[in-house]
Chain A
């Protein structure tokens, strides 16, 4: 803040707030006045809070930062070579792509950012030109500031800019010569990314603008909460993008740091080339921006104030203005912070320390500039960028290598999105993975141009129309709309050229595309959702398919899953999501095997669910807000999407009831949305995505989110609607823990489960197999909410199996379920398990209160039961330490009582021997000990008694020796325990199978050997 204040003073006004400073800077451009009043107070206040929250949420960004570093170094090198901003921008875009990869784990959005980067970069260039002029002397600093500012602004800009920058595409051409990019990067992939990004960017821009418009409109009434949430969500995404931006900026900074002169040159260059472009783009935005600007900001910063709704166009304008304003302000502010940052990163390689310092200095400034939410993100991002810089300096050599993978990742990111949208994307995506595919992308691009006309023709199916309409509706500026149209047309043309499949895809696409497109848009603007989807798609399908469904097939698929396969999968998956999976996979990409097709439904759900979890909340919020808002565009879009989706979905879920249910569900969460947005928008990353097609899964997630919010009770969830009725006829099924709503096609109905239970009980396979099967049976029962004698049987069977092998954790699960089931009055082997329960309490909890309560709970009838009586006798023997009784009871144990007693044998024996060694004098024959302590009741029950005893004796001797007892041989040659000597020497040895984690049953090898019989 201090830095900012100083900067501001020097620059124009004495306003303490960075925002004001920025505005002042903007004022130079002409729009400043509005900003100053609006942002200063609330934003500054909100600062700190946001930072804290954002940091944890965006921790993932750090990893990105490292990636960025590598990339950054490249840009720096490039800058040195080219000395032009364009190069830096190109690098930045590549960086964005790289960023996306790391984000996969945490932030999916990053991948999208790549697209946004390009746009943002374009905008930045313009900014640079304008801004750079002002601070020329201190250019390196402004650059750094710029980057920072750019980051926050970019999100904004990315949304609206994309529209305004629809021009930007042209921009890119002017500013960024494709050749420059390619040459600069030297990475074919990077060049691709640029192209794709630009495309995406335009598309995204449109989409994003749509969202914005929706939001703003929505904001009118109940919007406050919802908008806040939505805004915040967007912001977060933006943040991510921002981070990318930061990286970009950093890149530029890096060069700046290296050579001030170079920086100046670069700045000059941009000025010359970019200034005109900037001026052209800005005027439009500016004209709208000034009026709209202040209001949108405020609503964002203060969620409650959202009522200021402005048309999407105005918003975009505002954003543009923001960019312009922000950029200048940033420059002003940043210079001071930038310097310290640079120095520190360069000197100290520890990225974190640098990050913090840089954050401290840079963050305050940046956050002030923009939305509170945005501020948070910038802060987080800034650190990475800074670190990046330092890293860059260090790792310049390494950068290129790293960047390639990143680029590749970027490509996939763009690809998946594109896939969803249409063939174009797929083609692009493939190239990303495989060099061969690259030509396709170029072709597609070409075709896109042609497509525009096609779209206009209106020959396409409804879905396409709706899709196009949406896209157009989203466009607020003419430029944007034009760009969108072009893109859409291109996509459509490609689709048509590809075949009917594409058309089907379109149907499905609109639904997903909305998210997807949104995603893609978001990716540019709000990266998180799309990226995550894709990344998860990659990961999730293979894993899940493996684990759960048809493991063998999965494996084969997995093996097949080369890069090509991935591309194929993407394409196939996208269609799958749309339920056109099979046709799509077959037609578009023959790579997908039949197996894949089969899997796809499962894959989809699973992947969807996974992806959903993190992204869902955001999407939901967005969706919900859109729905809630009642915007004609948003609602109609959704409706269209839904209808299109359903129509597209030939096979499933087209029934009115189904739709009603889904609508109900969606409404449900819409209601809660506001609350959730407020309470959860920071948690958004954890939440699932709310793809329309994944309603069911989302419903579950919703329930969780409800709980999170604490506003809705679990009862509010329509569990009946969520209950599955299985249709699977397979008797055998592997267990996989559900992470999403179950798919009826993989759930077995009761009759099949009964057979499955019989199969397991008669199976000769080992416990691991049985356990797996039983767990899957249990899961199917639970999912279908079957609670009857079969359920009891299954749990009893599983509990017995578990006892036989000593798998107590599993047994405990069954036992606790059985307790509930018995309490519900379902008949079963109640007594047997009451005895087990009693024994378990005795052996394990060593808790008198538990023991008392479970004893007092026994009915008089139960006490007459043989098993229960036995258990009670065992208890008495244990509490009194009567080892003789204990081992006698052991030999006469009914059912599996002995299995539980096994767990106590060691302790009992030790106690007995220590007691004996204290009480007996002078000696005790080992044979007696063996007899009393149950050694003679060994494995060899069929053999002669002599052999048995001698065998038991040996065991006993071994045991005694292992426990440090002193054994002597008396005159008769009989082995004796020297009691007195032993009393001081016996000890409890560490169990041989002790494991670091304390649960020896988890030692796989041991477990396998035990259970393999």
Chain B
């Protein structure tokens, strides 16, 4: 590639410095944020990086003028980071970027108004992405990846800067969402709790005043957390909020939300339409839904097995597994209906043998004890109304609404 001339390099660097200073003095966030967004790989940044690598002594330029040198703490590490970034040394780039970011926050703290929030967003985003890439580099070198963790603690600091009163608070949710992303990626989800508490207990600032995209992201992540906790009503609420507020054009985002919302809805007894699954390419749920509709235990187990890895990774496996009881309920209900057609007078007495036989048809080889146990559990969980007579091995169903619907309520645990 063609190296720029010395003068060209000099020009580019001073150009950048001027842009930076102008953006700060005119409080021009958009152009300021642009100056930081490495991951955009914008040609101007790349050429600047080349110029820096060629020119080598950019710090001298920074020190030359008072205008620049007042931001020396910010700019010097930024240049170093950009250089390393351009050279593909991401770990170094991350280190320098964190230094730069720290210096920037320091400056940001001193600014009364929140004009630079967008720039801060850019930094928060960049540092996360850079940390992820640095970690990839580290782990490929056989070292322990820890940069993302470092980015997490840095963002926590940023959160502390923003989370107080005042106009800067609007930015807190964005940082929170970046933190969520890091924590979910690292598997240190428990760390989310403190941030959530800070967001949700703050009465000074209404949640609705946050930017919409942040609200949606936030609700998505907290909804996922509720899925982990198997707190389905809360998860339903949060994920539904995310879904309704999500930009309808962002299908990928909608799909992500649905990925968790569907299992939640299923466990609340609400089944999605097939077209929804098709539209958002969530066909892995198709069989599950079918199994629920038919009471086909074999199909459910098969579906779970088929997509086990996927479900385990996304964390909905256990939720889907719990649908088994609903499948049993459906099965028993069907038996009940058939029996009712044959002999309405004895329809409410289900012989255990019949159920065992039905399961056998599904190639579920279970003996009487096991099925008896399942029936007691169904009764216990209020999926079946009635009682079990052990002596005669008969499930005696209530004559009134023997199979209560969940209707948005979770299965009794």
Given the contacts A856-B309, A918-B380, A921-B387, A849 and B374 also touching, CB distance less than 8 Å: no
Task: Give the Cβ gap from A871 to chain B, nearest Cβ, in Å.
Answer: 15
Given the contacts A848-B228, A849-B315, A884 and B369 also touching, CB distance less than 8 Å: yes
Task: Give the Cβ gap from B222 to chain A, nearest Cβ, in Å.
Answer: 15
Inter-subunit contact B377/A881 (CB<8 Å)? yes
Inter-subunit contact A885/B317 (CB<8 Å)? no
Inter-subunit contact A920/B376 (CB<8 Å)? yes
Inter-subunit contact B373/A920 (CB<8 Å)? no
Q: Write out, one digit per residue, whether chain B residues 277-320 have a CB within 8 A of any chain A CB (1) or not (0).
A: 00000000000000000000000000000000100110101100
- List, in ascending order, chain A residues with CB within 8 A of B388's CB: 919-921
Using a CB-CB cutoff of 8 Å, which residues 809-861 of chain A contact chain B?
Answer: 848-849, 851-853, 855-856
Task: Give the Cβ gap from A989 to chain B, nearest Cβ, in Å.
Answer: 21
Task: Give the Cβ gap from B180 to chain A, nearest Cβ, in Å.
Answer: 14
Task: Give the Cβ gap from A853 to chain B, nearest Cβ, in Å.
Answer: 6
Question: Is the C-beta of B189 less than 8 angstroms from some C-beta in chain A?
Answer: yes
- List, in ascending order, chain A residues with CB within 8 A of B318's CB: 848, 851-852, 879
Inter-subunit contact A876/B321 (CB<8 Å)? yes
Question: Is the C-beta of A583 less than 8 angstroms from some C-beta in chain B?
Answer: no
A95 to B370, CA, bound (A): 80
Question: Is the C-beta of A598 less than 8 angstroms from some C-beta in chain B?
Answer: no
Q: Write out, one digit per residue, whether chain B residues 225-241 have a CB within 8 A of any chain A CB (1) or not (0).
A: 00011100000000000
Task: Give the Cβ gap from A918 to chain B, nearest Cβ, in Å.
Answer: 5
Inter-subunit contact A882/B377 (CB<8 Å)? yes
A848 to B390, CA, bound (A): 34
A880 to B323, CA, bound (A): 10
Question: Is the C-beta of A460 less than 8 angstroms from some C-beta in chain B?
Answer: no
Task: Give the Cβ gap from B113 to chain A, nearest Cβ, in Å.
Answer: 36
Using a CB-CB cutoff of 8 Å, which residues 54-111 of chain B contact chain A?
Answer: none
Inter-subunit contact B313/A856 (CB<8 Å)? yes
Given the contacts A879-B322, A924-B390, A932 and B187 also touching, CB distance less than 8 Å: no
A744 to B86, CA, bound (A): 51
Using a CB-CB cutoff of 8 Å, which residues 380-413 of chain B contact chain A?
Answer: 380, 387-391, 396
Question: Is the C-beta of B324 less than 8 angstroms from some C-beta in chain A?
Answer: yes
A876 to B320, CA, bound (A): 12
Inter-subunit contact A915/B380 (CB<8 Å)? yes
Task: Give the Cβ gap from A471 to chain B, nearest Cβ, in Å.
Answer: 52
- List, in ascending order, chain A residues with CB within 8 A of B309's CB: 856
Inter-subunit contact A920/B387 (CB<8 Å)? yes
Task: Give the Cβ gap from A604 to chain B, nearest Cβ, in Å.
Answer: 38
Inter-subunit contact A884/B390 (CB<8 Å)? no
Of A856, A885, A914, A915, which is in contact with the most chain B CB atoms at under 10 Å from its CB? A856
- List, in ascending order, chain A residues with CB within 8 A of B391's CB: 923
Question: Is the C-beta of B375 less than 8 angstroms from some C-beta in chain A?
Answer: yes
Closest to B316 in A: A852
Question: Is the C-beta of A928 less than 8 angstroms from some C-beta in chain B?
Answer: yes
Inter-subunit contact B370/A919 (CB<8 Å)? no
Q: Determine which of A855, A883, A918, A919 lies in contact with B312 in the assembled complex, contact meaning CB atoms within 8 Å.
A: A855
Closest to A880 in B: B324
Using a CB-CB cutoff of 8 Å, which residues 913-963 of chain A contact chain B?
Answer: 914-916, 918-925, 928, 932
Of B325, B370, B376, which is in contact with the most chain A CB atoms at under 10 Å from its CB? B376
Inter-subunit contact B187/A884 (CB<8 Å)? no
- List, in ascending order, chain A residues with CB within 8 A of B312's CB: 852, 855-856
Inter-subunit contact A852/B380 (CB<8 Å)? no
Q: Determine which of B315, B375, B379, B389 lies in contact with A852 in the assembled complex, contact meaning CB atoms within 8 Å.
A: B315
Inter-subunit contact B377/A932 (CB<8 Å)? no
Inter-subunit contact A882/B374 (CB<8 Å)? yes
Q: Write out, one digit per residue, whether chain B residues 313-345 have a CB within 8 A of any chain A CB (1) or not (0).
A: 101011001101100000000000000000000
A156 to B378, CA, bound (A): 84
Inter-subunit contact A848/B229 (CB<8 Å)? yes
Q: Number of A interface residues, CB 8 Å? A: 28
A914 to B380, CA, bound (A): 9
Closest to B369 in A: A884
A922 to B318, CA, bound (A): 34
Inter-subunit contact A923/B228 (CB<8 Å)? no
A694 to B313, CA, bound (A): 52
Inter-subunit contact A923/B390 (CB<8 Å)? yes
Q: Write out, one digit per residue, whether chain A residues 883-913 have a CB within 8 A of any chain B CB (1) or not (0).
A: 1110000000000000000000000000000
- List, in ascending order, chain B residues with CB within 8 A of A914's CB: 380
A914 to B369, CA, bound (A): 17
Inter-subunit contact B376/A916 (CB<8 Å)? yes
Inter-subunit contact A925/B390 (CB<8 Å)? yes
Task: Give the Cβ gap from A785 to chain B, nearest Cβ, in Å.
Answer: 18
A920 to B390, CA, bound (A): 7
A851 to B315, CA, bound (A): 10
Inter-subunit contact A853/B187 (CB<8 Å)? yes
Given the contacts A855-B312, A855-B317, A925-B390, A919 and B322 also touching, CB distance less than 8 Å: no
- List, in ascending order, chain A residues with CB within 8 A of B315's CB: 848-849, 852
Task: Give the Cβ gap from B211 to chain A, nearest Cβ, in Å.
Answer: 29
- List, in ascending order, chain B residues with CB within 8 A of A916's CB: 376
A630 to B374, CA, bound (A): 83
- List, in ascending order, chain A residues with CB within 8 A of B369's CB: 884, 932
- List, in ascending order, chain A residues with CB within 8 A of B324's CB: 880
Task: Give the Cβ gap from A330 to chain B, nearest Cβ, in Å.
Answer: 47
Inter-subunit contact A928/B187 (CB<8 Å)? no
- List, in ascending order, chain A residues with CB within 8 A of B389's CB: 920-922
Of A853, A916, A925, which is in contact with the most chain B CB atoms at under 10 Å from its CB? A916
Inter-subunit contact A849/B373 (CB<8 Å)? no
- List, in ascending order, chain A residues with CB within 8 A of B230's CB: 848
Inter-subunit contact A882/B313 (CB<8 Å)? no
Task: Give the Cβ gap from B366 to chain A, nearest Cβ, in Å.
Answer: 9
Q: Determine which of A853, A919, A923 lies in contact with B380 in the assembled complex, contact meaning CB atoms within 8 Å.
A: A919
A852 to B312, CA, bound (A): 6
A549 to B369, CA, bound (A): 58
Closest to B377 in A: A881
- List, in ascending order, chain A residues with CB within 8 A of B376's CB: 915-916, 918-920
Inter-subunit contact A919/B228 (CB<8 Å)? no
Inter-subunit contact A849/B379 (CB<8 Å)? no
Of B229, B312, B324, B389, which is in contact with the most chain A CB atoms at under 10 Å from its CB? B312
Closest to B379 in A: A919
Task: Give the Cβ gap from B372 to chain A, nearest Cβ, in Å.
Answer: 8
Closest to A915 in B: B380
A883 to B229, CA, bound (A): 23
Q: Write out, one digit per residue, whether chain B residues 247-267 have a CB within 8 A of any chain A CB (1) or not (0).
A: 000000000000000000000
- List, in ascending order, chain B residues with CB within 8 A of A881's CB: 377
Task: Give the Cβ gap from A925 to chain B, nearest Cβ, in Å.
Answer: 7
A881 to B322, CA, bound (A): 10
- List, in ascending order, chain B residues with CB within 8 A of A876's CB: 321
- List, in ascending order, chain B residues with CB within 8 A of A925's CB: 390
- List, in ascending order, chain B residues with CB within 8 A of A848's CB: 228-230, 315, 318
Q: Determine which of A849, A879, A928 lies in contact with B390 in the assembled complex, contact meaning CB atoms within 8 Å.
A: A928
A853 to B251, CA, bound (A): 28
Given the contacts A852-B317, A932-B369, A880 and B377 also touching, CB distance less than 8 Å: yes
A876 to B388, CA, bound (A): 23
- List, in ascending order, chain B residues with CB within 8 A of A883's CB: 373
Of B318, B379, B390, which is in contact with the most chain A CB atoms at under 10 Å from its CB? B390
Closest to B317 in A: A852
A293 to B359, CA, bound (A): 98
- List, in ascending order, chain A residues with CB within 8 A of B390's CB: 920, 923-925, 928
A920 to B322, CA, bound (A): 23
Q: A848-B315, A880-B321, A882-B374 are known contacts; what are 11 more A-B pairs with Cβ within 8 Å?
A: A849-B187, A849-B189, A856-B309, A856-B313, A879-B318, A880-B325, A880-B377, A882-B370, A885-B373, A920-B376, A922-B389
What are 17 contact pairs spanning A and B, CB under 8 A? A852-B317, A856-B309, A856-B312, A879-B321, A879-B322, A880-B321, A880-B325, A881-B377, A884-B369, A884-B370, A885-B370, A885-B373, A915-B380, A919-B379, A919-B380, A919-B388, A925-B390
Task: Give the top 10 A-B pairs by smallest Cβ distance, nearest first.
Answer: A919-B376, A921-B387, A856-B312, A919-B379, A884-B373, A915-B380, A918-B380, A884-B369, A884-B370, A924-B390
